[in-house]
Amino acid sequence: MDFKFTEEQEEFRQEVRTFLEEELPAGWVDYLPVTTADHASHSENGWEVFKDVARKLGERGWLSLFWPKEYGGQARSFVDNFIFREEIARRGSPGYNAMATRMLAPTLMKYGTAEQKERHLRPIAAGQKFWCEGFTEPEAGSDLASLKTKATKDNNHFIINGQKTWCTFADHSDWCFLLARTDPESTRHRGLSFFLLDLSTAGITVRPIFNIAGEPHFSEIFFDDVRVPQENVVGNIGEGWQVTQTLLSFERGSIEYTARVENLIERLKRIEVAIHNIQYRQALAKMAIDAEVGRLLNYRIAWMHDQGIATEWHAAMAKLYSTELYRNAANTAIQLLGMYAQLDKQDALAPLHGWFENYYLISFGATIAAGTSEIQRTIIALRGLQLPRE
């Protein structure tokens, strides 16, 4: 079995690496996992850097890499797209709004109207418009079907009232895709509809939530009699759950987490005072092995998708393994580096401007976001192992 990439894929990987070396500011410090988290590094001009890189990625067609050509994409393989995502994550690059390019765009291609595709796909591909997700609520996280945000029909509009939380990138987004209950008598996944919502609409309040690292990584979004035209419904009214499941299926693969672990290993290799210590070397060796296993699990997901093979429980396996690996690697790094690694970026003695401390704190969210580890194990048990429900 040959696990090697093609010559063209290796050339593409090098092209992405060269681009990032040339375009990112000198001394760029990727304090948070920017590829999946969709945020700008918290420097004074971080948001401007994010927009600039997004535009340049769009000019190269990399934001729409796997999209069909009829929608302005390059019709490249998912393996190619994973190469791009891996390099973006490894370098900690801004500019990649995954929820727009990877999740919403292909969903619109399947369920969107001609007008919705024309209005939204081109700005997403160009890196000119940014999106966030409006799914989770204070009482509806892993159990998303219990959400309470309501959308009441009013002639050719819907009036939305409710609250969403843990909305990544909402403070910088132009639009939000939203799941709300349009049938007040419905329960669970029935009677939900999928909306596209301009965040500049009257009645919307976005309030940042500071994460464990003390940074405004997430936001709450409050909807107070927000009027949304019916033309912004994706798919049929009341069938939003089906649209949502399609969108979430494009979230498959967790290559960013293994890429960040490889990034961590490279940084740990530069600690000259420690690399001759036997425990240090053994820990790095184990971390490298585990990272390669995760990398192969994820590229297998990409290959399966290219072959038209269902990936649901395999993707759950890759997500579970990759995020647990990420968290364990962060803990190992803190143990190896000792007290100095716990200093944050405000302390002049902090290694790499506090990068290790930030990496550790952010790692806790990896096993929660996009489905907790417990949810992933349940998917594997029910769909992969075919175990009976309790």
**For residue range 145-188, what is the model confidence (pLDDT) as tens digits?**
889 999 999 999 999 999 999 998 898 999 999 999 999 888 88
Task: Tell me if residue 7 is catalytic.
Answer: no
CA quadruple 29, 39, 362, 264: dihedral sign: negative
* 104 lies in some domain: no
**In terms of Cα–Cα distance, which of 86, 127, 85, 95 is closest to 24?**
95
pLDDT tens, residue by residue, 245-300:
888 888 767 899 999 999 999 999 988 878 889 999 999 999 999 999 999 999 99
Q: What is the mean pLDDT of residues 113-138?
A: 95
Give the domain extent around 29. Answer: 7-96
- Phi, psi for 207 (deg, rounded to 5): -125, 115
Distances (CA, A) of 151 to 47, 157, 167, 221: 32, 9, 19, 15
Beta-carbon contacts of 91 under 8 Å, excluding residues fewer than 6 positions away, are 17, 20, 24, 30, 263
Same-domain check for residues 45 and 138: no
Instruction: Give residue 14's pLDDT.
Output: 98
Same-domain check for residues 262 and 375: yes
Mean pLDDT over each residue of the chain, to the nearest integer = 90
Confidence of residue 33 (pLDDT cuts 50, 70, 90): very low
Here the CATH number for the domain that contains residue 192 is 2.40.110.10
Q: What is the mean pLDDT of residues 24-36?
A: 63
Same-domain check for residues 379 and 256: yes
Instruction: Give residue 200's pLDDT.
Output: 96
Confidence of residue 31 (pLDDT cuts 50, 70, 90): low
pLDDT tens, residue by residue, 130-145:
999 999 999 888 788 8
**In terms of Cα–Cα distance, which of 284, 292, 357, 294 is closest to 320?**
294
Within a 10 A sphere around the Cβ of 226, how many other Cβ atoms? 25
The span from the CA of 124 to the CA of 62, in Å, is 11
The span from the CA of 31 to the CA of 29, in Å, is 6
The span from the CA of 70 to the CA of 224, in Å, is 38
Count of structural domains within the chain: 3
The span from the CA of 80 to the CA of 287, in Å, is 25
* 121 lies in some domain: no
Confidence of residue 34 (pLDDT cuts 50, 70, 90): very low
Pull the structure tokens for residue 322: 């990759």
Q: Is the pLDDT of residue 390 over 80?
A: no
Q: What is the mean pLDDT of residues 12-35?
A: 80
Flag the least confident range among 19-33, 82-96, 207-221: 19-33
Same-domain check for residues 367 and 287: yes
Residue type, 55: R
Q: Is the pLDDT of residue 339 over 50?
A: yes
Instruction: Give residue 99's pLDDT.
Output: 92
The span from the CA of 333 to the CA of 266, in Å, is 12
Beta-ladder partners of 18? none
The span from the CA of 65 to the CA of 376, in Å, is 28
The span from the CA of 227 to the CA of 218, in Å, is 24
Cα torsion through 42, 43, 44, 48, rounded to 10? -80
Same-domain check for residues 263 and 370: yes
Instruction: Give residue 275's pLDDT.
Output: 82
Confidence of residue 345 (pLDDT cuts 50, 70, 90): confident
pLDDT tens, residue by residue, 199-231:
999 999 999 888 787 777 789 999 999 999 999
Is pLDDT larger for residue 40 or for residue 329? Answer: 329
Here the CATH number for the domain that contains residue 330 is 1.20.140.10
Which member of 251, 262, 266, 390 is catalytic?
A: 251
Is pLDDT larger for residue 340 or for residue 131? Answer: 131
Same-domain check for residues 265 and 373: yes
Q: What pTM value is reported for the model?
A: 0.91
Confidence of residue 75 (pLDDT cuts 50, 70, 90): very high
Confidence of residue 28 (pLDDT cuts 50, 70, 90): confident
Beta-ladder partners of 150? 161, 181
Same-domain check for residues 229 and 270: no
Same-domain check for residues 185 and 261: no
Q: Is the pLDDT of residue 348 over 90?
A: no
Phi-psi region of 180 (alpha: psi -120 to 50; beta: other; left: phi over 0): beta
Confidence of residue 44 (pLDDT cuts 50, 70, 90): low
Same-domain check for residues 210 and 276: no
Here the CATH number for the domain that contains residue 59 is 1.10.540.10
Burial of 210 (0-12, 13-18, 19+ CB in 10 A): exposed
Length of the chain: 390
Same-domain check for residues 61 and 182: no
Same-domain check for residues 353 and 279: yes
The span from the CA of 33 to the CA of 93, in Å, is 9
Is pLDDT larger for residue 70 or for residue 26? Answer: 70
